[in-house]
Structure 1
Amino acid sequence: MMRILLFLGTNLAVIVVASITLRLLGVEGYLRGQGINFNALLIFCFIVGMAGSMISLFISKWMAKRSTGTVVIETPSNATEKWLLDTVAELSRDAGIKTPEVGIFPAQQSNAFATGWNKNDALVAVSAGLLNRMRPEEVRAVLAHEIGHVANGDMVTLALIQGVVNTFVMFFARVVAHLVDSFLKSRTDGAGLGFMGYFAVVIVAEIVFGIIASAIVAWFSRFREYRADAAGAQLAGSGAMINALARLKAETQMPDQMPDTLRAMAITKGQTKSLMERLFASHPPLDDRIRALKEAAYR
């Protein structure tokens, strides 16, 4: 129920922001009697596409805490929590960023994520399972990986890329619908697609272009994982980072308890087999990540 409410709330916010912005910019509707206004269409798609991505980014910490059940450590209640806070503070200082909020979420699978709208207002969280089964140096390496995401500005960059991709998916879907409508009008004495037909074509085209766009976003997501691994190796040591990834690989058969909205941020994803799985995976295979770290260590 919470996910449904968040989805509806986000989309309502997008509609409100887009409507106000378009009115302030004096942008009229992109469909006119004489054809399509491509400038107005591009502005419309950019505002709606970016608004959804940016709103999701700004509420990412709030969503993450509620969807994963993360409890932020305000005052440590035991030695483990104190060690977590001290370790994240040390790694953040070494990475040159403000110390993020630190939390623990109740999942038995070893996992961790980082999120937040900028590198000085972030959240780093680890699962209870990770703390229970990993050695301290391995936990430190996982934390360093997540700090690497924050320091690299991956959350912001991914949101911007998603916003641009959303823009062009919406734009080209409507161009395709307009072309189909114009073609049918030329063959049917002006009947065309009609209102419902036009939006049916838009939806189908958005699905097709959305699949292609997802592959682009997934490619960048995989690229940033290699960068975060490299940052983790630099902050915590190559050996510790490699051992942590090997430990995560051994647990990939456990049920994935991360919400869909945070799977791209979870460190354990990436055990894909088929070409299609690899194409749309948010994380590279853990074997490839381990290999990249070993190759970098021997250079």
Structure 2
Amino acid sequence: MLKRYALLIATNFAVLALVSIVMAVLGINPSTYAGLLVFAALFGFGGAFFTLAISKWSAKRFTGAQVITEPRNEAERWLLTTVQRQAQMAGIGMPEVAIYDAPEINAFATGARRDASLVAVSTGLLRAMTREEAEAVLAHEVSHVANGDMVTMTLLQGVLNTFVIFLARVVGRAIDGYLSGGRDNGGGGIAYFAIVFVLDMIFGLFASMIAMWFSRHREFRADAGGAQLAGREKMIAALERLAQTYGESTLPKQVAAFGISGGVGGGLKRLLMSHPPLEERITALRNANLDGSSVRQGVVA
């Protein structure tokens, strides 16, 4: 856990340092609204894309996932051949296939490009699921990759980050100016930074709701894509099996949204969930029109 937070802090400082250097070289003044918008965009998109660029590395490190290079047993050979077949059907490059040690039934996909991704399954999944159910889970994750979900979520997060950073500081300046009676304190007073901190939290909460709404929509598409690649009944059976440990996850936050198992909750917590409730996913899958659009072949991502 401490390693995850240390990496997050180090990433933010690295992005901030890079953005500051770029703005200094280009002569952009962040005290102006135009300069502030450029700063917000560079920091917002820079952090999002840096996280995406190291997503495979960080996922392997934080989950302890072991990539299968040479299959050691029949189960590993089956995993490789199944993912290879599904990747060919979806029109993507062969992902790395890995296994990570975790008690819950789960799997995830990550990676910056469709042709250089990672698909990993938990040992809990291999113990609890039948081959048909596991095949559907793998198809679900391959669909995430084929649909370019990692890049799409990164772009959305970059836009949201930009607006949170920009609006918090614009509104912070206005409130600070009002409270100080219009006196110019250079925009660096304690009150200003306290206001911006609070606004970052408030706007960030709304931004998270938007990102999680899109994540839930994306999950329905991946379920339908999994049904298209592996079969509707297999996908439904896999989701029903997930109920055994649904809501339990040892995945780090960076990849949890791309796992097949989500959280549980209602009210405000539901707005911040990356996955829809299982019963909604199963109902949607039973009624889905599997016309081939659930797996977007040929999307550059």
Which category describes the TM-score, using the shorter chain as reference length?
Answer: over 0.9
- Out of 161, 164, 189, the position equivalent to 1:166 is 161
Match of 1:43 in 2: 38
What amino acid maps onto 2:19 in structure 1? A
Q: Give the alignment of 1:1-299 within 5 angstroms.
A: 1-30=2-31, 37-186=32-181, 195-252=189-246, 255-272=248-265, 274-296=266-288
Relative to its length, the structure with more helix (as a share) is: 1
For 2:28, what is the secondary structure of its paired residue? Answer: coil
In structure 2, what residue type is equivalent to 1:10? T
Aligned residues of 1:112 and 1:267 also touching (Cα < 8 A):
yes
* Worse-matched range after superposition: 192-201 or 211-220: 192-201
Q: Secondary structure of 2:142's partner?
A: helix
Q: Is the 8 A contact 1:91 1:235 kept in 2?
A: yes
Larger relative contact order (Cα-Cα within 8 Å, sequence gap ≥ 6) = 2
Classify the secondary structure of the residue corresponding to 1:102. Answer: strand
Moved over 3 A (4+): 189-194
Which deviations, in whole Å up to 9, do the C-alpha atoms of 1:115-141 show, x marking residues without a partner? Answer: 001111100000011011101011000
1:119 corresponds to which letter in structure 2? Answer: R
Query: Against the structure 1 CA distance between its residues 102 and 172, is the aligned structure 2 distance closer, same or farther, given a 3 Å change threshold?
Result: same
CA contact (8 A) 1:183 1:192 kept: no
Shift of 1:43: 0.5
CA distance in 2, matches of 1:4, 1:267: 24
Percent identity reads 48
- Code of the residue aligned with 1:204 in structure 2: it is V
Counterpart-to-counterpart distance in 2, 1:43 and 1:190: 23
How far is the alpha carbon of 1:266 from its aligned partner? 1.5
Secondary structure of the residue aligned to 2:243 is helix
- The C-alpha deviation readout for 1:19-75, integer Å capped at 9, x for no partner, is 232134321232xxxxxx211110010001111101000000000001111000011
Q: 1:192 to 1:245 in 2, by over 3 A?
A: same
Change in Cα spacing, 1:115 to 1:182, as seen in structure 2 (3 Å) is same
Q: Quote the RMSD (CA, aligned, Å).
A: 1.8
Q: TM-score, normalised by structure 1?
A: 0.92
- Secondary structure (helix, strand or coil) at the match of 1:115 reads strand
For 2:138, the aligned partner's letter is L
> Shift of residue 10 of structure 1?
0.8
**Structure 1 pair 205/278, CA: closer, same or farther in 2 (3 Å)?**
same
How far does residue 249 in structure 1 lie from its aligned partner after superposition?
A: 1.3
Following the alignment from structure 2 to structure 1, what is the Cα–Cα distance between the partners of residues 54 and 188? 38
d(CA) in 2 for partners of 1:83, 1:177: 56
Question: Could you say which residue in structure 2 is the equivalent of 1:34?
Answer: none
